[in-house]
Amino acid sequence: MNIKSVWAVAAGVLFIIIVTTLVDVGFHILGVFPPTDQPINDRQALFATLYRIIISIAGAWLTAWIAPSKPMKHAMILGLVGVVLGSIGAALTWKLELGPKWYPIILVVLSIPQCWAGAKVHERYTPKV
């Protein structure tokens, strides 16, 4: 991988982390989610999952758009990074009472499909040169 490829994947990772964090904080401030020292419930976890899917698809689109070549390959690498980071996060927080146990698992499971979807959106709506 060259530096442009690394940047494409890093940009997707940064986009997803920054945007989801900002949205999470906003929903805590607005009272949609409980204070950060209290766990979320199933309904709130489902809501968080839905907006994370959208944000992750957008991050994968960004990775595919920035990629110097083979946008799908770059998006799939982003998906693998998501699996690794999500698995680490799930393992580190498993014994904490942050919310339903299915939530960190579903984030890991969805990582590759949503990155594939983001690359597909890029393929469909990017003019062929």
Q: Give the pair of three-digit tokens for residue 96.
A: 């904490």
Query: One digit per residue, pLDDT tens: the chain, 129 residues?
Result: 699 999 999 999 999 999 999 999 999 999 999 998 999 999 999 999 999 999 999 999 999 999 999 999 999 999 999 999 999 999 999 999 899 999 999 999 999 999 999 999 999 988 776
Coil vs helix vs strand at 79 = helix
Angle between helices 71-93 and 3-30 (to 10 degrees): 50
Residues 78 and 24: beta-carbon distance below 8 Å: no
Residues 115 and 79: beta-carbon distance below 8 Å: yes
Tell the residue number behind the tokens 């690394």, with chain if given: 6
Ramachandran area for residue 96 (φ above 0: left; ψ -120 to 50: alpha; else beta): beta
Number of domains composing the chain? 1
Range of the domain at 91: 3-125
